[in-house]
Amino acid sequence: MATDTAAPPTGQPDVDVRALTELLDGEYAEVRDLVRRNLAAYASVLADAEELDLPAFRDRVRDLVVEMAATGQTGMGFPEEYGGGGDIGASIAAFETLAYGDLSVLVKVGVQFGLFGGAILQLGTKRHHDAYLEDLVAGRLMGCFAMTETGHGSNVQALGTVATYDPATREFVISTRGDAARKDYIGNAAEHGELAVVFAQLEVGGTSEGVHAFVVPIRIDGEVAPGVRIEDDGRKMGLNGVDNGRIWFDDVRVPREALLNRFADVSPEGVYSSEIDNPHRRFFTMLGTLVQGRVCVGGAGINAAKVALTIATRYAVRRRQFEATSDTEEELLLDYGLHQRRLLPLIARTYALHFAQDVVRTQLHEVFSGITDDEHNRRELEARAAGTKALGTWHATRTIQECREACGGAGYLAVNRFAALKADSDIFTTFEGDNHVLLQLVAKGLLTDYASEFEDLDQLGTVRFVTSLAVETVIERTSVHKLLERVRDLLPGGDQWDQEAGLLDSEYQLAMLRFREEHMLSGVARRLKRGMDQGMNPGEVFSRVQDHVVAAANAHVERVVLEAFVDRVRSLPDSDNRVALGLLCDLFALTTIEADRAWFMEHGRLTVVRSKAISREVGSLCRKLRPLAVDLVDAWGVPPEMLRSPDLLA
């Protein structure tokens, strides 16, 4: 039952919060509860973030990460023989839940176990696993994932660090060639890391073989290793419990075995070999094994949004401002239509993204546990992970800001969480792949239909690939007309389906989002084709179409998110919780259409009358959901200790 005073109108669902939490936690309820308990036990770190100086806070975060490692919650994704839990899905669920707490702790865990540990596990072979996994899973060996350089972050194929094989000594020589090639923003580098997985251009016998990863000691007994230079990145906008730094390598020698050699190797005599001939494909195959980090950050963004919404919603059923419907009492914020309009669609979108994240987590688990591991599934997973990460983290940034404002001046006080939430989650939109770059990756998958050539194609290759197909093929592939035929069967009104169908019919909502996606994709394909036919440079053609490309990818991901939500609701037995989720699903669908109504009207799929009807329906759904709002946020199960906000929630 809602804890605030508003009585649900008759016919309204009565949310069973505990059952809803169980449904949301799903198969990983036990893991999530373990993390919730740990978060509550270490809740003081939220105050430490404000009170300790930089070095002390970094140490506090490091100690906490090591203590959490001892509970098993951070090592769930590693093989059991090395002290892990052998369950990839559980490791993602644990990470998502950790995002309810201090985000420096979360990111330090991500760097240590996800990035550093993940690279050793996925790119290394038994010799690396035996040498490092047990210690890193226990938190005894801290490490870095040193990919980004000052000169290159998104385009990591163009990294400037070089690893040259020296057959005389059977060593690789790691060299930073110029300041643009220094490693930058590297977590664990400034203070705590002993080893780094360093991404560098491999040169063997004068031939460049592309980017490969090497294990390089950067500190020995706490001192910076010979030939390594490290500079602290200093204070950041947030995440100040993580010690990010820059690293230079002045011809540092590491043994031949330091190459993480799952996908390629160099023989003692200096012969390079790989089962993957195409260097592009090899590189993207390597990167693809690291997709887990993206899935983690997307899920963390969604959960950070839940913290903000829990605080803002609970405040909105306590805080009164201005008399409105009564002469004796001021109105609760959440009884204002505007406040409902600000918070409830964000709650609905959070639910939608939650269910979409369930899908991508399950796919990841199945692909990486070998249950459904084929190339097409992997490519689809990569695109899906990229899309969910982009939308999930943008949603966090937007939601946290809206919730801060919804709490007025109180929202600005550090004790009320938003200061840290805003500062710490902001960078989620950039690391683990900049969101705009990721959406281009999503579009590439769609335009090429995850073709087997997918990994071989760089941006220009993609343009050439798409435009080499007859435009009819692409249109067939994106198949707006086929969609319309299907829709005519599903919805009343024949060609007028978009005017006749009920706004709350999920087939109508899905048809609208599918139409937008497929129309946009075929539009991109046509424009690419036209540009190439006119003899324009492929890069220029792509650049001109890029906003369209990103819009198409966004449309695709929103459609996929809605499908995940609709599927989940349909899978539930009849209950009040199902009704409540149905209302949220409708709200998500209609606010998504409403937000892009100009496009739908431009493309003849939304009349003025119907557009206004959608806005009315959104208002009505908000009013229906208003009495359920507190239950809906409580069902996320954010531990009370993580909310702080003593004066907002009391």
Q: Give least dist CB 28 to ligand FAD, A.
A: 26
Q: Give least dist CB 65 to ligand FAD, A.
A: 14
Helix, strand, or coil (residue 599):
helix
Q: Give kind and range of the element (H or E) at residue 390.
A: helix 375-406
Cβ closest to ligand FAD, residue 260 vs residue 346: 260
Cβ closest to ligand FAD, residue 197 vs residue 364: 197
Site string for ligand FAD, 49-88 (x = CB under 6 A): ----------------------------------------
Question: Who contacts 277 (Cβ-Cβ below 8 Å, separation ≥6)?
Answer: none
Q: Give least dist CB 622 to ligand FAD, A.
A: 33
Query: Which residues in 234-253 contact ligand FAD (CB under 6 A)?
Result: 236, 239, 244
- 120 part of the interface to ligand FAD, by CB under 6 A: no
- 593 part of the interface to ligand FAD, by CB under 6 A: no
Question: Who contacts 523 (Cβ-Cβ below 8 Å, separation ≥6)?
Answer: 548, 552
- 406 part of the interface to ligand FAD, by CB under 6 A: no
Q: Give kind and range of the element (H or E) at residue 223.
A: strand 223-224
Work out the number of other CB atoms within 10 angstroms of the CB of residue 422. Answer: 20
Work out the number of other CB atoms within 10 angstroms of the CB of residue 493. Answer: 13
Helix, strand, or coil (residue 40):
helix
Rounded CA separation 70/76 (Å) = 11
Q: Give least dist CB 396 to ligand FAD, A.
A: 15
Cβ closest to ligand FAD, residue 4 vs residue 184: 184
- 186 part of the interface to ligand FAD, by CB under 6 A: yes
Q: Which stretch binds ligand FAD (CB under 6 A): 58-66, 185-193, 553-561, 616-624?
A: 185-193
Among 78, 185, 355, 497, binds ligand FAD (CB under 6 A): 185
Q: Which stretch binds ligand FAD (CB under 6 A): 3-11, 166-174, 427-435, 526-534?
A: 427-435
> How many residues at the interface with ligand FAD, by CB under 6 A?
20
Q: Which stretch binds ligand FAD (CB under 6 A): 14-22, 219-227, 428-436, 497-505?
A: 428-436
Q: Which stretch binds ligand FAD (CB under 6 A): 183-191, 203-211, 482-490, 584-592?
A: 183-191
Rounded CA separation 240/22 (Å) = 34
- 193 part of the interface to ligand FAD, by CB under 6 A: no
Q: How far are the Cα atoms of 479, 489, 526 from residue 475, in angstroms, in the given order?
A: 5, 21, 8
- 434 part of the interface to ligand FAD, by CB under 6 A: yes
Residues identified as active-site: 432
Cβ closest to ligand FAD, residue 85 vs residue 114: 114
Q: Give least dist CB 199 to ligand FAD, A.
A: 7
Site string for ligand FAD, 450-469 (x = CB under 6 A): --------------------
CB-based contact 17:25 (threshold 8 Å): no
CB-based contact 371:448 (threshold 8 Å): no
Among 34, 88, 106, 111, binds ligand FAD (CB under 6 A): 111
Among 401, 430, 615, 620, binds ligand FAD (CB under 6 A): 430
Rounded CA separation 595/583 (Å) = 18
Cβ closest to ligand FAD, residue 187 vs residue 445: 187
**Residue 239: which region, alpha, beta or left (left: phi > 0; alpha: psi -120 to 50)?**
left
Cβ closest to ligand FAD, residue 44 vs residue 537: 537
Residue 275 token pair: 């089962």
Question: Who contacts 318 (Cβ-Cβ below 8 Å, separation ≥6)?
Answer: 4, 332, 648, 649, 650
Work out the number of other CB atoms within 10 angstroms of the CB of residue 167. Answer: 15
- 436 part of the interface to ligand FAD, by CB under 6 A: yes
Query: Which residues in 139-168 contact ligand FAD (CB under 6 A)?
Result: 145-148, 153-154
Helix, strand, or coil (residue 212):
strand
Rounded CA separation 414/420 (Å) = 7
Cβ closest to ligand FAD, residue 554 vs residue 577: 554
Helix, strand, or coil (residue 332):
strand
Chain residue whose CB lies nearest ligand FAD: 153
Number of H helices, E strands in the chain: 27, 15
Going by C-alpha positions, the residue among 425, 408, 426 that lies closest to residue 416 is: 408
Q: Give least dist CB 647 to ligand FAD, A.
A: 31
Question: Who contacts 630 (Cβ-Cβ below 8 Å, separation ≥6)?
Answer: 2, 3, 4, 313, 314, 317
Question: Who contacts 284 (Cβ-Cβ below 8 Å, separation ≥6)?
Answer: 454, 455
Among 427, 451, 587, 642, binds ligand FAD (CB under 6 A): 427
> Footprint of ligand FAD on this chain (CB under 6 A)?
111, 115, 145-148, 153-154, 185-187, 236, 239, 244, 427, 430-431, 434, 436-437
